[in-house]
Amino acid sequence: MNDTNTGGSQPITMQIGEDYTDIRDSVRRVCSDFPNEYWAKLDEKEDYPTEFIQALTNAGFLGALIPEEYGGTGLPLRAAAVIMEEVCAAGCHAAAGHAQMYIMGTILRHGSEAQKRKYLPDIASGKLRLQAFGVTEPTSGSDTTQIKTRAVKTDTGYVLNGQKVWTSRAEHSDLMLVLARTTPANEVSKRIDGISTFLIDIKKNLGNGLKIQPIKAMVNHHATEVFFDNLEIPADSLVGEEGKGFRYILDGMNAERMITAAEALGSTRWFIKIATNYANERVVFGKPIGANQGIQFPLAQAYIQSEAADMMIRRATALFEARQPCGAEANMARYLAAEALWNAAEACMQTHGGFGLAREYHIERKWREARLARIAPVSTNLILSNIAQHSLKLPRSY
């Protein structure tokens, strides 16, 4: 069943029901080789899932959004969302590979033809990993317009100085996108001006003005701090036009919101499945615990929320593919999915009681991941603020 709106420049079509069934089946087959025990060992050692990422790459999933002319499979964003949804629904951890899907979009949409030819085929094949994006800084947080990292132009390129924090997977990536100011904030008329995007070769520059320091965290996301100390980079490191980098990342954030919302949806479904199976099997006082409304209602609520999130993700990706404005829908999809995931995680933990804390059930690991979804890649409070101001036209709160 399709919901079609022809009011825009392109038809907006949204499929109802399980779409991309072949892709879903293929993802499930790949994930079946990486059971809970695999992820538990990685979590304990804080290791990177190299074998899993390689399997996704070999299957063509991480190159899904790269056009065929650059070695990818040229699938629409909805298909990419489906891939990440199924990864998480299988109990696997998609965050180790998801960034490659949407980070490369900056190069695809705004990079030069030479950059596309040089990097995209190797990213699609897995020869190069583009998993890291240096945006957040210790003093600016979510206010990206106030970043302090500077890129000063020279005769041969730029010199980069500054610090990034919560840059995930920098130690496991060959390339990194970095946002830096090329014009000081006090010299631009708009806060979003004077910020540029650069593509950095990590392997080449590590130890030569580039330093990466791991951050130990509650969730195994391979988070790092990145330091730039007079790092010299060539002129062709610049992606697009100088001073327009902030607009470039906004362009890619909608895709990020939708893909990570799909991941949260998949994990929500994992929690609901695990919890309902246990509630039907666990017998206390002579009956399954699932007969108690205290168990039923939270799971039913999470299920309802997951279905709402699913529909908003479909709507957002349909608008994105039709080249229609989709910022509000992307944010709402992300919000709904994050809330559904947290409620499902809590319901699953509560359903299992003390057993939910036991690592052998793998619930506590996924529960920790679920909590992060309400903070990163965007706080649910920031989403509410955005919707209040831009959709409801309420006064700016800050």
Instruction: Tell me the pLDDT tens digit for each residue of 76-135.
Output: 999 999 999 999 999 999 988 888 888 888 999 999 999 999 999 999 999 999 999 999
Question: 129, 147, 182: which is the final residue of a domain?
Answer: 129
Residue 9 has what pLDDT?
55
How many helical (H) and strand (E) elements, i.e. helices and strands, does the chain have? Answer: 12, 12
Q: 296 in a domain, yes or no?
A: yes
Residue 10 has what pLDDT?
67
More confident residue, 3 or 142: 142
- The mean per-residue pLDDT over the stretch 218-247 comes to 95
- For residues 97 and 140, membership in a common domain is answered with no
Mean pLDDT of the chain: 93
Residue 13 has what pLDDT?
80
Number of domains into which the chain is organized? 3
Confidence of residue 269 (pLDDT cuts 50, 70, 90): very high
Phi-psi region of 249 (alpha: psi -120 to 50; beta: other; left: phi over 0): alpha
CA 317 to each of CA 26, 103, 254, 261: distance values in angstroms, whole numbers, following the listed order: 21, 17, 9, 11
Confidence of residue 7 (pLDDT cuts 50, 70, 90): very low
Instruction: Point out which residues pair with 259 in neighbouring strands.
Output: none
- For residues 114 and 53, membership in a common domain is answered with yes
Pairing of strands 175-181, 130-134: parallel
Q: How far apart are CA 147 and CA 164, in angstroms?
A: 9
Q: 103 in a domain, yes or no?
A: yes
- Per the structure block, which two tokens stand in for 382? 């920031």
Residue 187 has what pLDDT?
94
- For residues 258 and 347, membership in a common domain is answered with yes
- Per the structure block, which two tokens stand in for 148? 């302090």
- Per the structure block, which two tokens stand in for 250? 């906004």
Q: How far apart are CA 343 and CA 318, in angstroms?
A: 26
Confidence of residue 251 (pLDDT cuts 50, 70, 90): confident
The single residue listed with the structure tokens 């299988």 is: 90
The percentage of the chain sitting over the pLDDT mark of 70, rounded to a whole number, equals 97
- For residues 142 and 205, membership in a common domain is answered with yes
Alpha helices, H only, the chain: 21-31, 36-45, 50-58, 77-89, 95-110, 113-125, 202-205, 245-281, 293-321, 327-352, 363-372, 380-386
The single residue listed with the structure tokens 């022809």 is: 6
The phi and psi torsions of 129 (rounded to 5 degrees) equal: -110, 130
Whole domain around residue 237: which residue ranges?
A: 132-244
More confident residue, 289 or 99: 289
CA 287 to each of CA 272, 274, 279, 292, 311: distance values in angstroms, whole numbers, following the listed order: 20, 19, 10, 9, 35
Say if CB 239 and CB 197 are below 8 A apart.
yes
Q: 197 in a domain, yes or no?
A: yes
338: domain CATH number is 1.20.140.10
Rg (C-alpha) for the chain, rounded Å, is 22
- For residues 288 and 358, membership in a common domain is answered with yes
